[in-house]
Amino acid sequence: MKRKILAAALAGGILWIGFGQTAIGAQQEDVEEKRISDFLLPFLFEETAGGTLAEAFVSEGKIDEKAVFGDKATGSESSEKDRPAEKTGTVLDDIQVHSYDPNENYMEKMYQASLDGSEYAMEAGAIYEAQRNLKISREGLSQETTDFFSRYRDSVMLQKEIKAFLGLEEPSQWLVMSVPSGIDTAFKAYMDYTTITSKASTQYQLQQQAYTENGFRMLQGCYLVALGSYYGSCGDRFRITFDSGNTIEAIMGDVKADCHTDASRMYRPMSSGRGNVVEFIVDSRYMDPTAKKMGDVSHALPALGGNVVKIEKWIGN
């Protein structure tokens, strides 16, 4: 699967993908710039029975040796520490799709990528979706364009949404839950994930599957958060909307103690008519300095700003 994804990335429709200034050797007429994506690098240097995929593709003439190995091709050494250690975005942050195969069923490819569910397959699915949208636009097709892979980074959710789009099953069901009224809920506290120490707990097990992105602990593309017990239990999935209009997806990674919340078990009361509904789980070593100082993660990302106006809980079909 990985080799197929990489080969497709080299040969079909993807004109450039970004990582540093390294050039990739795929040739197309309308190429403006060609670079190797952050997500492709693990493919290239993964060991196989015959060596790395990078070596295999170089030998097959699919990519240029210097494009992949840089100075290593001439014997110089490069340092692994120079690569970014923290994931900061998706491949679509660094990609422009300029062409497509008019005979390709990209929706099928998108669904297969969602079934695979790996990080690399999800990135490939996003590329297929961009190519599908370009095909619809250029050929004036009647089909609707989609944004599944920008809205969902969890494979199960993607499968459900793609099936619903194709009329194969009912759309996703989200239960609208109550939110506090009459108080300011803009403050978004944080807790460090290392404070979760009970290895037998669900909270701890979720952290073993999670990763850090921009200081936030993430799972399946969702923020890990602590909510009051009114909202559910660890592992539940939510959509949280702010009065700015922004919506995030979150997974309940911890439950606020009832003794720390209001009578409704929705929020932790604060001074001056304020209350903390959503507490983000973070790796404080990588937090935004201002957010860390203020104790409010809204200072880290504008998308997290504003009062909580809607919380929806995923209840399946």
Domain boundaries, position 281: 175-314
Please tell me the predicted confidence (pLDDT) of residue 52.
55
pLDDT band at 233 (very low <50, low <70, confident <90, very high): very high
Higher pLDDT, 47 or 112: 112
Structural domain count of the chain: 2
Boundary of a domain, candidates 136, 165, 194? 165
Crossing angle, helix 2-11 and helix 119-139, to 10 degrees? Answer: 30
Q: Could you tell me the CATH number of the domain that includes residue 201? A: 2.40.40
Same domain, 89 and 179: no
Same domain, 136 and 202: no
Same domain, 6 and 79: yes
Interior angle at CA 150, CA 146 and CA 155, nearest 5: 95
The model's pLDDT over 39-91, given as tens digits with 9 standing for 90+, comes to 444 444 444 555 555 555 556 554 455 444 444 444 444 444 333 334 444 45
> Among candidates 206, 27, 4, 273, which has minimal Cα distance to 124?
4
Average of per-residue pLDDT across 220-224: 94
Residue 98 lies in a domain: yes
Same domain, 161 and 76: yes
Residue 310 lies in a domain: yes
pLDDT band at 118 (very low <50, low <70, confident <90, very high): confident
Same domain, 147 and 184: no
Higher pLDDT, 93 or 155: 155
Residue 170 lies in a domain: no
Higher pLDDT, 59 or 11: 59
Boundary of a domain, candidates 165, 196, 227? 165
Same domain, 95 and 30: yes
Q: How many CA atoms lie within 13 A of 131 on its CB side?
A: 24
Contact predicate 212/309, CB 8 Å? no
Alpha carbons 162 and 129: distance in angstroms, whole number: 11
pLDDT, the chain, mean: 78
The model's pLDDT over 121-150, given as tens digits with 9 standing for 90+, comes to 888 899 999 999 999 999 999 999 999 988
Same domain, 104 and 204: no
Cα distances (Å, whole numbers) of residue 152 to 123, 161, 253, 308:
12, 9, 18, 21
Residue 67 lies in a domain: yes
Same domain, 42 and 90: yes
Same domain, 211 and 301: yes
Same domain, 146 and 293: no
Same domain, 74 and 142: yes
Render the burial of 220-259: b for 16+ CB within 10 Å, e for the rest. Answer: bbbbbbbbbebbbebebbbbbbbeeeeebbbbbbbbbeee
Please tell me the predicted confidence (pLDDT) of residue 120.
85
Same domain, 187 and 131: no
Residue 24 lies in a domain: yes
pLDDT band at 192 (very low <50, low <70, confident <90, very high): very high
Average of per-residue pLDDT across 25-46: 40
